Amino acid sequence: MQRRERARHLIELGGLVQKAGLVDLADDDRATIYGALLELVGRARDDAASDTLALWKRRGRRAFDAEAKTTA
């Protein structure tokens, strides 16, 4: 059961990468996508990490809310 849950979780995360447009932007190049994600982690670990994470969370929630309104 844990294996299925983990697989589902990873699939959902991949869907978020796709939904955000990173796959198309990087022309489906995994090294570019991985580099971009590493850059995000680096930014989030600097002195203003809590501010950066809070900003990303707000942006993500707004995007999810906007999507929910268009599909409802």
| Per-residue confidence band for 25, with pLDDT thresholds at 50, 70 and 90 | very high
List alpha helices for the chain, DSSP H: 2-19, 22-25, 30-44, 49-71
- Collapsing DSSP states into helix, strand and coil, what is residue 70? helix
In tens, the pLDDT along 55-72 reads 999 999 999 999 999 987
Q: Note the pLDDT tens digit of each residue in 37-48.
A: 999 999 888 878
Question: What is the four-CA torsion angle of 7, 28, 30, 53, rounded to 10 degrees?
Answer: -70
Do 29 and 39 meet the contact criterion of CB atoms below 8 Å apart?
no
> Are 37 and 26 spatial neighbours (Cβ–Cβ below 8 Å)?
no
